[in-house]
Amino acid sequence: MTGPQVVPSATTMLRTQSAPRRGMPVLLRRLMPLIVVAVVLVLTYVWVSSLDLDSIEQRTLNADYITARIGEHLVLSIIASVLVAVLAIPAGIAVSRSRSKVFRGVVIGIANIGQATPAIGVVILLAIVWQTGFTTALLALVIYSFLPVLQNTIAGLAQVDPSIRESARGMGMTPSQVLRRVELPLASPVILAGLRTALVFAVGVATVATFINAGGLGDMIINGLKLQRYPVLVVGAILVASIAVLIDWAAGVVEDIVRPKGL
Amino acid sequence: MPDITTNTGVLTSLAAQQGGVDIVLDHITKQYPGQQRPAVEDFSMRVEPGELIMFVGPSGCGKTTTMKMINRIIEPTSGSIRINGDDVLSLDGNELRRHIGYVIQQIGLFPHFTIAENIAIVPKLLGWSKARIAERVDELLRTVQLDPGTFAQRYPRQLSGGQQQRVGVARALAADPPVMLMDEPFGATDPITREKLQAEFLRIQADIGKTIIFVTHDFEEAIRMGDRIAVLSDRSQIEQFDTPARILAEPANDYVRSFIGEGAALKRLALIPVTDARIGSADAAAPAVTVDEHSSLREALDTLVLTGAARVNVTRAGAVVGSIDQAAISAALGSEGPARRAEEA
């Protein structure tokens, strides 16, 4: 599971890094996800409007219901990602600072297991041994999205040029000043790419929260399936996919804004 | 902790020394755990205030390790180091390093800081006021011949290697430290840029008179730059520690001789100005090409060889004041070497 994680984050990083220097096509490519999502959503709306909805479908395919589900979905995904940032970045720093191979192995090993275990398995197991609901779904998401951020923090710190670290020390910066003013800013593009991956993961995996009564767009997908109301299923699926694309797009924009100048 | 007050006092006095201070390394040894032989063994040296000392030796001989023990990037296993009479091993390492300029070959500019911000790092650590920092950055950029208006707000990657190393030097000088440590600072630049940087640095050093330890593996660089050269062998053993002219004239042993390589006499000529030779009367038959009296005898010889003439005219501020021939050049070489030392003795 280690390989595939780093690759997508590394490629997103390369793409966004070379992006700002290529003029108009870049702007178009930048806006492409927005355009595609808008077109898909409009088409879906037109299609659903043309359907004769029965009472079950009407109960689901209305603005109030959909807004509530999207809200649940976003709250779950975003809180999970914030928690991952708060936990995995310090863990990555601790692993980078530690000389103990055992510590490093244990932390990365646990993160790998969290990621390798199918999300639905984690959710159901946690619900059985603990409880159902929001908190459980949140924990499952955190476990699942921990690895990309941890790994990218470690990789980001490792790629800081040793001579920059040496000159920082040679000028009398304390180790914590070196970390805060030099290493973290220089590692930030890679760390942010990891966070972006985690966020997109979280949006996708949050659909399984429905199994333990934690809401989200998974509700629409599962209800649509169980009750064989395909418009409900399709709308739920399209919304999840659209949110994932939009979140990825927004995270990309944030990456560009936050990246230190001069890199 | 009574130490703290003493430390601050020592550092304040160090900060007040804007010219050079003396450095005494006393029986310094660095033994890495798990290695049979020490990296540096029993190294002792006294560096006078304002001296530019070159450490020359092959890679892995411990010259860099020795230098890095002075600002305690590497902690010595035993021995003592005194700067301006104060024992640096009792000071806080980070505080100490803020008062010692440090330039490395890879430069190590912070890529996410502008040139001005890079130069301001140490002054900021020392808590200088914004106005004082801005003024200092401006002054330093001019010192290293970079126009502040053009370069201050650029980022390092927008500069050439030579420009970056100038910024590296400016950054090390920022807080006006009395001591500078330079680890092959010009090693990564092309020969033309390197020579330019060397000349520029010597010009700056003539003004500021810092005490400098300069590590290099390039003997030519050592001759050109150093007030004194320490030729080092394995475990940082000092094979010879003397002025460039003396080392060229009287290498202490075969090891030093091998470092000097071919053409020791020519290298010495490069160190002797024309005025040191016996200048004869002006020669009307001499070629149109002349040498200034401040150029080296090597340049004079070069002109002689190039033109094939017997004598070449010497000028002072453009006016011919005499002429020089090969015999005079050879004589100057002799008087600079063993003969003159014998006279002195």
Interface probe with B: pick from A167, A173, A190, A191, most Cβ of B within 10 Å: A167
Q: What's the rounded Cα separation, in Å, for the pair B148 and A124?
A: 63
**Cβ neighbours of B110 in A, within 8 Å:** 164, 168, 182
- Confidence (pLDDT) at A13: 41
Using a CB–CB cutoff of 8 Å, tell me whether A159 touches chain B: no
Q: Is A117 exposed, middle or buried (0-12, 13-18, 19+ CB in 10 A)?
A: middle
Of A171, A177, A263, the CB nearest to B111: A263
Distance from CA of B209 to the nearest CA of A (A): 20
Q: How many Cα atoms occupy the beta-carbon half-sphere of B123 within 13 Å?
A: 22
Q: Does position A8 have pLDDT exceeding 50, yes or no? A: no
Residue A197 CA to residue A182 CA, distance in Å, equals: 24
B127 interfacial to chain A (CB closer than 8 Å):
no
Tens of pLDDT, residues B259-315: 888 777 888 888 888 888 888 888 777 777 888 888 888 888 888 888 888 888 888
Q: Chain B within 8 Å of A164 (Cβ-Cβ)?
A: yes
pLDDT in tens, A199-238: 998 998 899 888 888 888 999 999 889 888 888 999 999 9
Contacts of B97 in chain A (CB under 8 A): 169-172
Q: Answer whether A221 touches B (CB < 8 Å).
A: no
Spatial distance between the Cα atoms of A30 and A24, rounded to a whole number of angstroms: 10
Whether the CB of B179 is below 8 Å from some CB of chain A: the reply is no
In this prediction, residue A7 carries a pLDDT of 37
Look up tokens 């670290």; give the residue: A165
Residue B17 has pLDDT above 60, yes or no: yes
Look over chain A and give the mean of its residue pLDDT values, rounded to a whole number: 85
What is the pTM assigned to this prediction? Answer: 0.80
B345 pLDDT band (50/70/90 cuts)?
very low
* DSSP H/E element including B315: strand B311-316
